[in-house]
A = this chain, B = another copy of it.
Amino acid sequence: MLYLVGLGLADETDITVRGLEVVKKAERVYLEAYTAILLVDKEKLEAFYGRPVIEADREKVETGSDEILADADKVDVAFLVVGDPFGYVPAHLIFLALCYIGIISNSTFSATTHTDLVLRARELGIESKVIPNASIMSGIGCTGLQLYNFGQTVSMVFFTENWKPSSYYDRVKENVQLGLHTLVLLDIKVKEPSLENMARGRLIYEPPRFMTVAQCAGQMLETEEERQEGVWGPDSLAVGAARVGAADQKLVAGTLKELAEVDMGRPLHSLVLIGKRAHDLEKDYIREFAVDQATFDASWQKGGYGTM
Contact = CB atoms under 8 A, between A and B. Distances in A.
Contact of A153 (B14, B148, B155, B285): B148
B139 A137 contact: no
Interface residues of A, number: 59
B152 A130 contact: no
Contacts of A137: 137-138, 147
Nearest to A114: B141
A152 B150 contact: yes
Contact of A148 (B6, B149, B154): B154
Contacts of A46: none
A234 interface: no
A244 B130 CA distance: 9
Copies in the complex: 2
A122 B288 contact: yes
A204 interface: no
A133 interface: yes
Interface in A113-164: 113, 115-116, 118-119, 122, 130-135, 137-139, 141-142, 144, 146-155
A138 B84 contact: yes
A8 interface: yes
Contacts of A133: 8, 16, 133-134
A95 interface: no
A138 B15 contact: no
Nearest to A155: B148
A245 interface: yes
A17 interface: yes
A88 B137 CA distance: 11
Nearest to A280: B110
A281 B174 contact: no
Interface in A1-45: 6, 8-9, 11-18, 20-21
Contacts of A84: 134, 138-139, 141
A6 B141 CA distance: 12
A178 interface: yes
Q: Top 6 A-B pairs ranked by shortest CB distance? A: A86-B141, A132-B134, A135-B138, A13-B18, A13-B17, A84-B138
Interface of A: 6, 8-9, 11-18, 20-21, 83-88, 92, 110, 113, 115-116, 118-119, 122, 130-135, 137-139, 141-142, 144, 146-155, 174, 178, 180, 244-245, 281-282, 284-285, 288
Given A8-B133, A151-B151, A152-B178, 8 more contacts: A14-B16, A15-B16, A15-B17, A86-B141, A88-B147, A115-B285, A132-B134, A132-B138
